[in-house]
């Protein structure tokens, strides 16, 4: 594809290439004028070493994730602290000779299934997948190097994890012992209950969860989406270019025949498909060129309504976006990352950056900023409509927890007075199951309601004990009484020993590594450019010296 574009450029765009060279030289000459403020900033320092803002933001992005799986719920303060912990861990790894090397990064990339083609690692697929996520190869390889350094630290910390024999035996017994239980079902009567929350209740919730309402920089733009298809009729693709494209993508145009063998599809059968694809690609170039000329030739110095006039002349709707942050996914626009990046680079007061051009697959967008909202924590009044349902949900949840806790206390009292669990539960108008016998390690082979919740909720209990509340769903909780518990099969326990020991070690190491990350950051000379939290001096003090005793209230 690269060769195809290069040939087209030489054949028909020499003049454009000449202008591009002149423009490039001009940009180099005034590079400092166009440098992003963020590129010139550091996010802070660790032991005197400045951390570039771009590196910090890449770490934050990796923590939150990409695409539809991105975590937008965790507060910025929490994510920022995790980012600093990871950056400090990477520097510690490099200091101790455990940083990643290029060969390790290269090997890790080659093992990713999503980058594989018919003949193994496919560089074109690799670049395409990254582009879909708004990443460049350099950015992604930096993230991989970062993760490899963290993995080495985690392995070192994990090597210090010790599983005691007593802990292992308890876990094996919980997995293989034979339990006989009864379960009482408690319906959540508060799930849809009307609960009156006073202004003080709402304000208290706001203060306790203030960080979760923090908003990053946000912008809103107005824009026109110019269909690329408008330019298809103005382009043509020579026959030799179609053949060249077909030859360079031979592996794409194959079909399966008998015995799972493949054969090439003749050019004549796919010619129209290739023509449509290359025409559309050429139309994208034409659309982008035409729009660029219109913007910088006609609109740059026009009045406030220049974009509206352009939309009316082209008979295209002028749309206005909602406010969005740099990391938001813009489902209403193609190429969300490029659209967002362009929007945050706009400056209404400068003719050379008043408008932005964003290339998509089906549209070319011309955008103009209308609103800029700086990062801030909204006032209580500003978020009251969003706050109220969250506060109500919390109040309902806490009311149900208190109800179940009180109910459990009453059941335990009745049982201590001589009633059976079933009679005590019936006295409180609860539905009680018949006796259920199972072993945890074979629970997948047994079928009864809420089997996994019951099995794992009661696995640490002894005969005669009553469980705490076990959530079964948003509408129900369970209380489980262990009627009997008998030793399980010794052979089954022995066969599971290695697996259970490994599971305990994994659970512990994940917690241990998280604690180590926090401890390690506290041991560094750590100076962020912006506070990790507003008014959280105690947490910052602990981060600076985690071994210091907490101040008593």
DSSP state string for 16-57: HHHHHHHHHHHHHHTHHHH--TTTT-EEEEETTEEEEHHHHH
Determine the Cα–Cα distance for residues 452 and 436; give it in Å rounded to an integer.
13
Residue in the structure block whose two tokens are 């010619």: 271
What is the rounded end-to-end Cα distance, in angstroms, of the chain?
A: 68
Q: How far apart are CA 26 and CA 21, in angstroms?
A: 9
Confirm if 353 and 35 have CB atoms less than 8 A apart.
no
For residue 14, pLDDT over 70 is answered with no
| Cβ–Cβ under 8 Å, residues 216 and 375 | yes
d(CA 327, CA 323): 12
- The residue-averaged pLDDT of 351-369 equals 87
User: Over 80: is that where the pLDDT of 143 sits?
Assistant: no
What tokens does 535 get?
Answer: 């008014």
| Contacts of residue 55, Cβ cutoff 8 Å, sequence gap at least 6 | 43, 87, 142
Supply the DSSP string of 223-237, one letter for each residue.
EEEEEGGGGGGG---
Q: What is residue 62's predicted lDDT score, i.e. its pLDDT?
A: 77
Distance CA 256, CA 549 (A): 70
Tell me the domain boundaries of the chain. 1-35, 98-148, 178-212+381-486, 217-373
CB 334 within 8 A of CB 362: yes
Instruction: Report phi then psi at 321, rounded to 5.
Output: -85, 160
Task: Please give the residue that has the higher pLDDT: either 252 or 471.
Answer: 471
Rounded average pLDDT over 162-189:
88
Say if residue 133's pLDDT is above 80. Answer: no
Distances, alpha carbon 40 to alpha carbons 36, 50, 134, 316, in Å? 7, 11, 22, 39
* Full-model pTM: 0.56
C-beta of residue 357 within 8 angstroms of C-beta of residue 342: yes
Query: Which are the contacts of 491, defined by CB distance < 8 A and separation ≥ 6?
Result: none
Neighbouring C-beta atoms of residue 194, cutoff 10 Å: 7
Is the separation of the CB atoms in 174 and 440 below 8 Å? yes
The pLDDT score that the predictor gives to residue 535 is: 39
| Mean pLDDT, the chain, integer | 80
- Condensed to tens digits (0 to 9), the pLDDT of residues 317-333 reads 999 999 999 888 898 88
pLDDT tens-digit series, residues 504-524: 777 766 677 777 788 888 888
CA angle 56, 514, 77 (to 5 degrees): 45
Q: What pLDDT does residue 465 have? A: 94
CB atoms within 10 A of CB 120: 8
**What CA–CA distance (Å, rounded) separates 89 from 68?**
28
pLDDT tens digit sequence for 239-271: 888 888 888 888 888 888 877 788 888 998 888
Secondary structure of residue 265 in the 3-state scheme: coil
Q: Which of the following CATH numbers is that of domain 178-212+381-486: 2.60.120, 3.10.50, 1.10.10, 3.30.420?
A: 3.10.50
Helix, coil or strand: residue 178: strand
Element (H, E) at 463: none
Task: Give the residue carrying structure tokens 């070690």.
Answer: 505
For the chain, what is the radius of gyration of the CA atoms? Answer: 31
Do 377 and 215 form a contact (C-beta atoms < 8 A)?
Answer: yes
Could you identify the residue written with the tokens 């927890």?
A: 401
User: How far is the CA of 85 from the CAs of 50, 92, 522, 523, 545, in angstroms?
Assistant: 15, 10, 9, 11, 14
The predicted pLDDT at position 72 comes to 64
Residues 6+ apart with CB under 8 A from 54: 38, 39
Identify which of 11-15, 53-57, 87-91, 344-348 has the greatest average pLDDT.
Answer: 344-348
Q: Name the β-bridge partners of 355.
A: 368
- Going by pLDDT thresholds of 50, 70 and 90, the confidence category of residue 4 is very low
Residue 441, judged by CB atoms within 10 A of its CB (0-12, 13-18, 19+), counts as: buried
Which ranges of 328-383 does DSSP label H, i.e. alpha helix?
336-344
Burial of 284 (0-12, 13-18, 19+ CB in 10 A): buried
């Amino acid at each position: 594809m690269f060769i195809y574009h290069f040939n087209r450029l030489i054949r028909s765009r020499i003049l454009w290439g000449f202008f591009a060279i002149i423009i490039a030289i001009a940009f180099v000459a005034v590079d400092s004028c166009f440098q992003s403020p963020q590129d010139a900033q550091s996010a802070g320092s660790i032991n005197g070493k400045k951390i570039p803002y771009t590196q910090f933001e890449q770490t934050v992005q990796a923590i939150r994730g990409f695409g539809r799986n991105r975590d937008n719920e965790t507060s910025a303060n929490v994510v920022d602290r995790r980012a600093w912990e990871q950056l400090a861990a990477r520097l510690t790894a490099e200091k101790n000779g455990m940083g990643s090397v290029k060969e390790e990064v290269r090997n890790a990339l080659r093992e990713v299934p999503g980058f594989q083609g018919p003949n193994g690692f496919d560089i074109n697929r690799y670049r395409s997948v990254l582009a879909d996520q708004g990443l460049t190869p350099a950015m992604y390889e930096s993230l991989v190097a970062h993760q490899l350094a963290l993995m080495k630290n985690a392995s070192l910390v994990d090597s210090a994890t010790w599983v005691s024999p007593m802990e292992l035996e308890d876990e094996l017994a919980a997995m293989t012992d034979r339990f006989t239980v009864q379960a009482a079902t408690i319906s959540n009567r508060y799930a849809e209950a009307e609960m009156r929350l006073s202004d003080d209740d709402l304000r208290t919730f706001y203060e306790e969860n203030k960080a979760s309402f923090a908003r990053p920089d946000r912008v809103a733009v107005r824009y026109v989406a110019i269909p690329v298809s408008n330019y298809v009729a103005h382009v043509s693709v020579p026959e030799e270019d179609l053949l060249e494209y077909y030859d360079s993508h031979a592996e794409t145009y194959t079909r399966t025949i008998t015995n799972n063998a493949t054969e090439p599809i003749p050019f004549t059968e796919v010619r129209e498909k290739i023509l449509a694809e290359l025409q559309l690609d050429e139309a994208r170039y034409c659309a982008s060129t035409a729009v660029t000329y219109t913007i910088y030739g006609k609109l740059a110095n026009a009045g406030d309504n220049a974009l509206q006039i352009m939309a009316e002349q082209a008979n295209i709707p002028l749309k206005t976006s909602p406010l969005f942050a740099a990391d938001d996914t813009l489902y209403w626009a193609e190429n969300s990352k490029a659209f967002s990046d362009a929007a945050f680079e706009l400056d209404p007061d400068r003719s050379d950056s008043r408008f932005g051009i964003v290339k998509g697959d089906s549209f070319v967008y011309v955008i103009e900023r209308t609103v800029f909202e700086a990062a801030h924590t909204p006032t209580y009044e500003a978020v009251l409509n969003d706050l109220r349902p969250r506060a109500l949900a919390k109040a309902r949840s806490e009311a149900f927890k208190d109800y179940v806790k009180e109910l459990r206390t009453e059941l335990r009292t009745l049982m201590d007075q001589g009633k059976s669990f079933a009679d005590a539960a019936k006295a409180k108008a609860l539905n009680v199951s018949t006796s259920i016998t199972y072993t945890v390690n074979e629970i997948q082979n047994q079928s009864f309601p809420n089997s996994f919740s019951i099995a794992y909720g009661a696995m640490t209990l002894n005969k005669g004990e009553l469980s705490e509340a076990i959530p079964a769903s948003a509408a129900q909780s369970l209380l489980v009484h262990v009627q009997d518990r008998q030793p399980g099969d010794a052979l089954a326990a022995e066969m599971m020993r290695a697996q259970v020991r490994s599971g305990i070690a994994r659970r512990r190491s994940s917690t241990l590594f998280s604690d180590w990350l926090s401890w390690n950051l506290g041991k560094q000379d750590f100076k962020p450019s912006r506070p990790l939290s507003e008014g959280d001096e105690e947490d910052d003090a602990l981060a600076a010296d985690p071994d210091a005793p907490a101040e008593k209230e």
